[in-house]
Structures are given as structure tokens and as C-alpha cells.
Structure 1
Amino acid sequence: MAFPKPQYLFLALLILFFLSKLSFAKQSRINGLKLNVIDRCWRKNPEWKRHQYQLATCSIGYAGKMINNIGNDLIHYKVTDSSDDPINPKPNTLRYGTSIIQGKVWITFQRDMQIKLEKPLLISSFTTIDGRGVNVHIANNACLMIFKATNIIIHGIRVHHCKPQAPGIVMGPEGKVIPLGQVDGDAIRLVTASKIWIDHNTLYDCQDGLLDVTRGSTDVTISNNWFKNQDKVMLLGHDDGYVRDKNMKVTVVYNHFGPNCNQRMPRIRHGYAHVANNFYQGWLQYAIGGSMEPSLKSEANLFVAPTIGNKEVTWRKSSDKSGGTWNFHSIRDIFENEASFNITKGGDVKKPNYTKEQNFKVLDAKFVKYLTSSSGVLRYNKNYVY
């Protein structure tokens, strides 16, 4: 039997190598057309696992770039134990990484995990929870809280079936045990937090809401998430009497709301929200609402009204204090299935006034289904990200 000469074998292997590279490049170009600016920043890199910290440079909106979460002093912590002890967390558990480890911490997971938290998980400043490449669920009891903390990334986690928690003590940031009052069953709750990026998570079926930004929290970007199967989805602002939330600034971009979402996508109190390039797959009561004179710039979103029921996107709570003064503006939104948007008449559209590092281009609403097509936790197969 004749064997090919070594030079021919080498040539064949070389051709196969370049063909595979060309195939990957072609696929990358195709995928690049569908990727939003955040995902283009890291998903097109086939070596993203080796360069996972690149993610911190990809954020947009009010959170800005999360470069404070990376650097030479960064600690890489891997979760290998799915158990939870809220008072004395064990090494290798998620709570140990978010509370005991000091400094900049980048948390990943060894394998697929189902984590049932015994008490709310308080996350320290300069912490990244990165669920890429595995399938991590935090579910069926307490969930996540960011309390008086800053510079936090939550990426690639499924959080669902969260339940209210009675008052108790819990290990908090910097390894300090702190008392917590009654906690509602929210998936993720921000309390007096700043510079927070919540990206590519899947949130659903919680007893209260999916995401609350409250008590003076600000500089928050909520992007690429999938919110589904929920009554109250997203609350921006603690309550009508909490005036510190007037300084709240939140970017809501590239998210998918639905199916089976009822209201608060988001509901805004006092502060300002830039809601752009999101896909609204129906609602029951309303999609976007608020009270206490909030400001909203709804820009290039796709609103698909429910087949039966309320077609109006917005809801406003009237009160004597607010005097019915609103600043709700719709710019380049697309409305399907007879959806409508009750805009503020007169007055200027309040701009987000982003800094250079926060700024991004809002694309035409006709591209929203592409921009949000991979919202929620991503799927992974070797080097490919879906």
C-alpha cells in the first residue's frame, strides 16, 4: 500500500487548517451581523475563555466600563461546592467568594450547578460572578442582593423561583456578619448600590419581582437579559417617598421581556431611565410605567402588544405631589399589533448625557430581534457561543 509523501501530507493538513480558519471567519462575520455592541466585544473571539477578563471592557450605558474589576491584583476564584452556609461559608462555595475573599474577585464555576441559597447572597464590591461556559441555577429559596456595594458584574446566571426570607443574620461583604430584615422574593435586588452591570442572565418565576434598583442605587446597566413568566418584572426606585432616587440613572438595553410578563418593564420612580433596543413580547397591565415624575427616554424598542387586552405601553400613577408632570418620550420605537405609547406632550426629550466610555449607538428598531436574539444565558459548544 502506497502512503502519501510527507510533503503532500503536510500540504493537505495546511489546506485543512486554512479552510477551518476561513470557515470560522465566515461564521464570525455572519454572527457579527447579529451581535450587539456588547457581544461583539468578546463573543467573536474564539479564545474568549483564555481572555475572560475582556468582558469587563465591554459594558456600555451608565455602568460604564468595568475596568475596576480587573487588573494585576485580581483574584480568580472557582466555585466547586454548590452548598451554602449563610453564617460560616465554606471555602469553594459561592458565598465564600462573594463575602470572605477580599479585593477584586472574579468568580467562575467548575461545572453545571444548582445552588439553593439558605439566605440572601450579599455580594462584595469589585466582584464579578461569571457563569459563562456552564449552566448555573440559583433557585428555589433566597437569591441575590447587592447592598451598599459598587463595581459588580453579574453575568450568565439563571435566577428563578426566589422566595421571601424572614429576618436573620448573614455573612456580608468583607467577612462581616450583618442583620437583614424581611426580604422580598426578588431575583436580584440592589440597595444603595452603584456601578453595577447585570448582563446575559435569565430571570423568571419569583414571588416578588425579578430586578429591583432601590434606595439611591445608580449608574446601573441592565443588558442582554431574558425576563419571562413574571408579574412584576423590574422596579427602578424604592417608593414614592424616597427622594434620593431622583439621582438614579439606569440603562436598560438589548433585553427580551416575555413571554408572560405582566407589568414593570420597568416601573420608574423619581429617577431617569434610558430604555433602548429592547424586545417587548406582550404584557397584561402595561410595559413601562412610573410615579413621582420620573424621566424616560424610550428609544428604538420593539413593542408587540398582546393579542387580547391592553394595547397601551405606558402607565402613570397620578398623585397630588407629582401634579401629573411626566417626562415620557418615545423616539424611533416600533409598535406592532396595535401597540400605542402615551408620550409627554411638549418639552424637550431628556438625553442620557453619557460620558465617552458609557456612550453607544442605538440602532434602528427594525434590528431589535437580531440584537436580542441571544438574550439571557448563552449556550456554549467548545469555542462557539450561541
Structure 2
Amino acid sequence: MAFHHVTNSVYWYFILPVVMVTFFTTNVSSAKKSEIEGMEMNVIDQCWRFNPEWRKHRQQLANCSVGYAGKMTNNIGKDLIHYKVTDHSDHPLNPTPGTLRYGASKIQGKVWITFQRDMDIKLVKPLLISSFTTIDGRGVDIHIADNACLMIYKETNIIIHGIRVHHCRPQAPGMVMGSDGKIIALGQVDGDAIRLVSASKIWIDHSTLYDCQDGLLDVTRGSTDITISNNWFREQNKVMLLGHDDGFVRDKNMKVTVIYNYFGPNCHQRMPRIRHGYAHVANNLYMGWVQYAIGGSMEPSLKSQSNLFIAPTTGKKEVTWRKSSNGIGDTWEFYSVGDAFENGASFIETKGGQVIKPNYKLEQNFKVVDAKFVRSLTRSSGVLQCSKTSIC
């Protein structure tokens, strides 16, 4: 995607990149050195994008995630299977070698999936992704669009990076290859771009999601330890749902990190909408909304930290929305810490108390940057444009 607005330099914060630039640019031309040194990146991107040889070291990415997903080191190792998609076709029951479904559902174990060339993939049925699978679209232009899309059902340790998912449509019940490589009966599926059901340790990064019939990203039915980072969400009514429904109390254990994402244009609501669980929403850019940006019900808790909320020119300026259940008042813990508000935006937060979380472990922790730098931190959200001769 095109770069978003860029603000003043933030070199004072990016000390690590200076070291990395020195390390990775020893044998790079002076022109390339200048290009690298001129880039400002968030902590995830600093971890790998400064390396002009990233194509030779794709698995470096697994060490770069932060937030509740933690490091994705279970996705790499000596037993890693390298799989390249060479065929854009799809067969939901008997996928052929070279197709995305064969790599994501049929092959079991640690699988790192890349793509031979630009592809438009029209899935016949939802793609059920196996545990320990990475879908890595860097360096090519990958679209999963115009029918069924992605599902993670009772699986763990999955990375989705660098793909475009859009124009997803509802699917009738039918048979499909499950994530264990066996044929299963799958019920009715709504038209979501990516749906997580009872999933854990999932990282969705640098993808572009838009214009789907239902939502863009659902995290439901006890899913937890999720990081959603560097994505571009646009052209959508219902964007991101965290929590299955008001009655599914197991979602109280849900923990989700939402960082460095760009919401807009034309996102109406649910960025995210959270039930029961907890979300840490930090350093995201919100380019307007229609109903609301962040909402919740069933006693959710949320820490909104150093985001930039730019209210729509007309309509609702309030960022948050709260739903009462069964006519009885509901309780929420919505806290705004260091957020920036433009164009009249406002945030009604809970009075008194404080959100003690996120309580990250060392491998999950990251520094939240001042909101005045959010435009820079999110300027390359979504699928990256990676040239064949340079860094992303």
C-alpha cells in the first residue's frame, strides 16, 4: 500500500536500528545504505526489515513478534518443511501438491509456505490452517479473494504475513479437508476474511483485509494469545470481533494485542468490539468511523494506549461504545492512556481504578511509543511492497 502520512523524525527512539543498519549494510551500496538509514520503523519491523538479505533468512521473522502471541520460535527449527505454492487452483477435498491448501492443511508439522509468483487464489471452501504453519507472502502479490477465506480451528502457532484477503463470502455447510489432513464436515461459515475458533498463539502481521460480507477478523470461542500487528483494515462495516457472543463465558480468558494497525478509510465499527476478555490496543491509527471505533459488552477490559484517533468530519466523535445486556447495566473497564485525539474525537473511559494488565512476559513485552509518532509507526501497515533488489 502507499505510505501513510509521515511525521517528524523519531531517531531518538530507534537506537536498535542503528546497530542493525551497521550490521546488515556492511556490503551494501552507499545508495542502499542511505535508503535503509532513512526509514523509521516500529519494533516488529526493526527486527527484520533492515536486513537486505531477508529472503535468505525468512525464518528470522519468527523472532520478531511481540504482544500476547510472544515469539513464534515453535514455527522454526531443523525439522522445518519449506513449501512453495506454485499452483493457484484449489480442491477442497483432494488438494494437489503445489497448491496453498496442500501446504496449509495436508502437510503436518512445521511448514513455512512461500509463493513462486504473484497469485490470485479463489478458495472453493474455507482454508483450515494446521498448527505450526507460516503463510509468508513477502516479495509477491498474493490475493485470497472472491469466495471462501481463512479459518484457524483449534490450532496453535500460526503466522499469517503479507497477504491480501478480501471480498470473502458466506459458505454453505459442506465437506472440506480439515487442518489434520482428513476430510471433515464443516458447518455454515460467515463471510469473514480470517476467523479464529478456539485457537491460540496466532500472529497476523502486515496483511491487508477489506470488503468482506461479514467481518475482517473474528477471534472467538476461547481463542487467546493473539497478536494483530501492522495490518491495514479498510472498506468494511464490521472490522474486528473479539469474543464469540455474550453467552460464551470462556472468552473471559482471551488476551489479544492490537498494535501498529491502520484502520480506514471507510471502517464503520468494531476496531475492535470486545466481549468478556482483555485487549491491549496500542499505537494504532484510526482514520474515522461511523458508529464507533472501540466497543464492548459483557464486562470486557481494554487498555487503549498511545493511539491516534482522528474523528470523522461529521457524525459521531466519540471513540467508544458500550452495550448493556438484558436491560441490566453492564460493567466495562475501558482506559485511555496517552491517546491522541484529532478533529474533535473523545474517549469516555471508566472512572476510577486502573487496568493492571497487560502484564506481558519478557518475550511479549515492547515499548509503547508516544502517540505523536503513530503516523510514522503505521505508515507501511498492510502488505509491504518488497522490490527484488532491496529491503521491504
TM-score (norm 1): 0.93
Does residue 1:382 correspond to 2:388, yes or no? Answer: yes
CA distance in 1, matches of 2:204, 2:52: 23
Stretches of structure 2 lacking an aligned partner (at least 5 in a row): 1-24
In structure 1, what is the equivalent of residue 162 of structure 2? 156
Q: Match for 1:27: what amino acid? A: E
Question: Partner of 2:12 in structure 1?
Answer: none
User: With CA pairs under 8 Å and 6+ residues apart, which has the higher RCO, 1 or 2?
Assistant: 2
Q: Does 1:99 align with 2:121?
A: no
Q: CA deviation at 1:20?
A: 5.7
1:185 and 2:191 correspond: yes
Q: Secondary structure at the residue paired with 1:175?
A: coil
Aligned length: 368
3-state SS, counterpart of residue 143 of structure 2: strand
1:331 Cα deviation (Å)?
A: 0.3
1:23 pairs with 2:35: no
Question: How much does 1:172 deviate?
Answer: 0.9
Residues 365 and 322 of structure 1: is their aligned pair in 2 closer, same or farther, counting only changes over 3 Å?
A: farther
Partner of 2:171: 165
Cα deviation, 1:9-60, whole Å, max 9, x if unaligned, reads: xxxxxxxx999633322322211xx100000100000000000000000000
CA change 1:18–1:95 in 2 (3 A) is: closer
Q: Quick one: which amino acid aligns to residue 185 of structure 1?
A: G
Flag the 1:340–1:133 CA change in 2: closer, same or farther, 3 A.
Answer: same
Contact 2:296 2:332 in 1 (8 A): no
**Aligned 1:363-374 pairs, distance under 5 A:** 363-374=369-380
Render the CA deviation track for 1:218-244: whole Å, top value 9, x for unaligned. 000000000000000000000000000
Residue 351 of structure 1: how far off its partner (Å):
1.9
Q: Does 1:348 align with 2:354?
A: yes
Deviations 1:53-96 (A, max 9, x none): 00000000000000000000000000000000000111100000
Structure 1 residues 291-300 or 348-357, which shifts more?
348-357
The 2-side partners of 1:321 and 1:51 are apart by: 55
Q: Measure the CA separation in 2 of the matches of 1:113 and 1:381.
A: 16
CA-CA distance at 1:340 after TM superposition: 0.3
Distance 1:349 1:236 in 2: 18
1:173 positional shift = 1.5
Task: Please point out which of 47, 55, 59 is paired with 2:61.
Answer: 55
Q: Give the partner amino acid of 1:306.
A: P
CA distance in 2, matches of 1:259, 1:268: 21
Give CA-to-partner distance per residue, 1:314-336, whole Å, 9 cap, x none.
00001248732110000000000
Q: Which secondary structure state, in structure 2, belongs to the residue aligned with residue 232 of structure 1?
A: strand
Q: What residue is the counterpart of 2:115 in the other structure?
A: 109
Q: What amino acid is aligned across from residue 24 of structure 1 in structure 2?
A: K
Which 5+ residue runs of structure 1 have no aligned equivalent?
Answer: 1-16
Give the C-alpha shift of residue 150 in structure 1.
0.1
**Alpha-carbon distance between aligned partners in 2 of 1:82 and 1:371, rounded to the nearest angstrom:** 33
Distance 1:19 1:122 in 2: 42
Write the distance in 1 (CA, Å) between the matches of 2:143 and 2:343: 35
- Equivalent residues in 2 for 1:233-312 (5 A)? 233-312=239-318
CA distance in 2, matches of 1:383, 1:306: 40
* 8 Å contact kept, 1:253–1:277: yes
Length-normalised TM-score, structure 2: 0.92
Report the Cα distance in structure 2 between the residues aligned to 1:66 and 1:108, rounded to whole angstroms.
Answer: 17
Instruction: Decide whether the 8 Å contact of 2:54 with 2:391 is kept in 1.
Output: no
Write the deviation string for residues 320-371 of structure 1: whole angstroms up to 9, x where unpaired: 4873211000000000000000000011223200000000000000000000
How far apart, in 2, do the equivalents of 1:161 and 1:48 lie? 31
Shift of 1:381: 1.2
Work out whether 1:337 is the aligned partner of 2:343. yes
Q: Partners of 1:318 and 1:174 in 2: how far apart?
A: 40
Amino acid at match of 1:275: V
CA contact (8 A) 1:295 1:350 kept: no
Max radius of gyration: which structure? 1
Name the aligned partner's letter for residue 179 of structure 1: A
The answer (yes or no) to whether the contact 1:378–1:385 under 8 Å persists in 2 is: no
Change (3 A) 1:85 1:308: same
Q: CA deviation at 1:102?
A: 1.3
SS state at 1:51 partner = helix
Distance 2:298 2:195 in 1: 21
CA deviation profile, 1:187-244 (whole Å, cap 9, x unmatched): 0000000000000000000000000000000000000000000000000000000000
| 1:4 match | none
Contact 2:145/2:167, CA 8 A, preserved across alignment: yes
SS of alignment partner, residue 142 of structure 1: coil
Q: 1:139 aligns with which of 122, 140, 145?
A: 145
1:383 Cα deviation (Å)? Answer: 3.4
| Secondary structure, counterpart of 1:384 in structure 2 | coil
1:207 aligns with 2:213: yes
Whether the 8 Å contact between 1:137 and 1:158 is mirrored in structure 2 is yes
| 8 Å Cα contact 1:297/1:350 also seen in 2 | no
SS at match of 1:369: helix
Number of the residue aligned with 1:3: none
For the residue of structure 1 that corresponds to 2:309, the secondary structure is: strand
Kept in 1, the 8 Å contact 2:51–2:391? The answer is: no
Q: Which amino acid aligns with 1:296?
A: L
